[in-house]
């Protein structure tokens, strides 16, 4: 319990006394065209991560802008963590909405080109960056809402699963899930743990083996997402949701969050080095490199047809 309290105290540094103005009910298509209020300011200058912070509401919108599909490359994840740290330290920010500035895709997951044909040193840095990103988002004292505006496979699904609440566009063409087995690779234990914590044991047992990608209605049905909305209501609903969460005193909520997430966090922290070794060893295998290569070919071939 002492460590939970310490963790919560650390996280409580993100508390703020911002007066909440009425939630913006502005409806716009997608985050990139969202109409930010006059009190919004650019909180990040990164090329792939755009951040807008509304100091009246305390809501920050973090948008991924890494074309063509917001793949989570080493560079993208490094920029993500830098932008995240800035927000985490900003006392005027109480909650963060994660979304995509690109149409049709939230994130295509880990960048396969960072895993395919790269050196062990590169893959070590890549996996460390992913662990870092996950620890920051999953362990954040802020309220984190995923506004899922497109496809969200594998690492993209992990990002969404690390949030406190998931809202997805109600459109059957957008799929979300832990699909690694379909690529011939294995989702690490912490991906599986996040899924299991969200949808339960049996559903994740089926899900990770089959590598199921769920459409939005299926994802809602199994509890992988919490709410579906029309595209033009995504950001306004995420903002309204956030403001409802703000009614809960931060400190009490942060301690509760840290308690619930402690076992999953501790497991990763204890196994962090071994997890890196596993990843590098696993992706060193010729058979795994071959699977990744074939998957990339398949993606490119699909486009050519
Ligand atoms: C012994 C025990 C071991 C235990 C295990 C230990 C360690 C674990 C080891 C490994 C774990 C790895 C975990 C992996 C997690 C991942 O996230 S893997 C990535 C999974 N992602 C996907 O499967 C998504 C693939 N992409 C798509 O399905 C589609 O691209 C889309 C996101 C639905 C978007 O479709 P669309 O808009 O039609 O775009 P295109 O398909 O045309 O793609 C555009 C270009 O983007 C390239 N691309 C797509 N996805 C990726 C990606 N993930 N990485 C890199 N590049 C990607 C695609 O090839 C196109 O490129 P070109 O324009 O043709 O050059």
Look at residue 281 in the predicted model and tell me its pLDDT. 98
Radius of gyration for the alpha carbons in the chain, expressed in angstroms and rounded = 19
Report residues whose beta carbon is within 6 angstroms of any ligand 1 atom. 68-69, 71, 104-105, 108-113, 151, 153-155, 179-180, 183, 185-188, 278-279, 282-283, 299-300, 303
Q: Is 165 exposed, middle or buried (0-12, 13-18, 19+ CB in 10 A)?
A: buried
d(CA 67, CA 263): 35
- Count up the domains in the chain and report the number: 1
Residue 212 is part of which domain span?
2-304
- What per-residue confidence (pLDDT) applies to 41? 72
Whose alpha carbon is nearest atom 12 of ligand 1? 187
Query: Which is catalytic among the residues 79, 88, 180, 196?
Result: 180
Instruction: Output 55 or 163, whichever has higher pLDDT.
Output: 163
Quick: pLDDT tens for 39-98: 777 776 689 999 999 989 999 999 999 999 999 999 999 999 999 999 999 999 999 999
Token pair belonging to 57: 């509401």
Active site residue 179: yes
Catalytic status, residue 271: no
DSSP string covering 54-88: ETTTTEEEEEE--TTTT-B-HHHHHHHHHHHHHHH
pLDDT of residue 82: 97
What is the predicted pLDDT for the residue at 15? 34
Q: Residue 40: its pLDDT value, please?
A: 75
Per-residue pLDDT, averaged over 228-232, amounts to 98
Residue-level pLDDT at 44: 66
Rounded to the nearest angstrom, the distance between the alpha carbon of 266 and the centre of ligand 1 is 29
User: How large is the average pLDDT for residues 203-221?
Assistant: 98
- Note whether 145 and 98 are within 8 A (CB): yes
Q: What is the Å distance from ligand 1's center to 181 Cα?
A: 12
Q: Which pLDDT value is given to residue 36?
A: 64
pLDDT at 270: 97
- What's the pLDDT band for 1 if we cut at 50, 70, 90? very low
pLDDT at position 302: 82
Q: What mean pLDDT comes out for the span 122-139? A: 98
Annotated catalytic residue, options 74, 98, 110, 158: 110
Q: How many contiguous H segments (helices) and E segments (strands) does the chain have?
A: 11, 10
- Tell me: pLDDT of 7 over 60: no
What percentage of residues in the chain have a pLDDT greater than 70?
A: 86
As a whole number, the mean pLDDT across the chain is 89
Per-residue pLDDT band for 194 (boundaries 50, 70, 90) equals very high
Residue 35 pLDDT: 62
Q: Is 200 a catalytic residue?
A: no
pLDDT classification of 14: cutoffs 50, 70, 90: very low
Q: What is the CATH number of the domain that holds 285?
A: 3.90.226.10
Q: Is 35 a catalytic residue?
A: no
Q: What is the dihedral of CA 72, 157, 228, 67, to 10 degrees?
A: 20
Distance 25 CA to ligand 1 centre (A): 34
Atom 23 of ligand 1: nearest residue by CA position: 153
**pLDDT at position 305:** 61
Q: 3-class DSSP state for residue 48? A: coil
Gap between the Cα atoms of 90 and 92, Å rounded: 5
Centre a 10 Å sphere on the Cβ of residue 181 and count the other Cβ atoms it contains: 15
Q: List all residues 6 or more positions away from 111 whose beta carbon is below 8 Å from its beta carbon.
A: 71, 72, 73, 74, 76
175 CA: nearest ligand 1 atom: 33
């Amino acid at each position: 319990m002492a460590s939970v309290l310490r963790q919560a105290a650390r996280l409580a540094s993100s508390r703020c006394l911002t007066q909440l103005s009425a939630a913006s009910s502005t409806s716009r298509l997608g985050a990139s065209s969202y109409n930010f209020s006059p009190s919004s300011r650019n909180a990040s200058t990164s090329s792939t991560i755009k951040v807008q912070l509304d100091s009246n509401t305390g809501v920050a919108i973090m948008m991924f802008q890494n074309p063509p599909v917001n793949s989570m490359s080493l560079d993208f994840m490094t920029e993500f963590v830098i932008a995240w740290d800035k927000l985490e330290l900003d006392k005027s920010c109480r909650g963060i909405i994660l979304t995509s500035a690109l149409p049709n895709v939230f994130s295509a997951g880990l960048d396969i080109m960072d895993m395919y044909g790269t050196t062990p040193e590169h893959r070590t840095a890549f996996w460390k960056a992913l662990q870092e990103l996950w620890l920051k988002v999953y362990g954040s004292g802020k309220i984190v809402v995923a506004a899922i505006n497109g496809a969200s496979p594998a690492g993209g699904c992990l990002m969404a699963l690390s949030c406190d609440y998931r809202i997805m566009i109600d459109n059957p063409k957008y799929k979300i899930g832990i699909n690694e087995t379909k690529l011939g690779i294995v989702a690490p234990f912490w991906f599986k743990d996040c899924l299991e914590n969200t949808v339960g044991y049996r559903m994740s047992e089926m899900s990770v083996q089959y590598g199921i990608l769920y459409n939005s209605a299926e994802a809602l049905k199994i509890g992988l997402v919490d709410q579906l909305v029309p595209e033009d209501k995504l950001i306004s609903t995420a903002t309204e949701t956030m403001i409802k969460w703000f009614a809960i005193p931060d400190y009490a909520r942060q301690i509760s969050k840290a308690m619930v997430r402690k076992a999953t966090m501790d497991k990763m922290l204890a196994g962090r080095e071994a997890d890196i070794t596993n990843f590098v060893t696993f992706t060193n295998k010729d058979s795994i490199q071959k699977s990744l290569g074939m998957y990339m070919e398949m993606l490119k071939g699909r486009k050519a047809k």
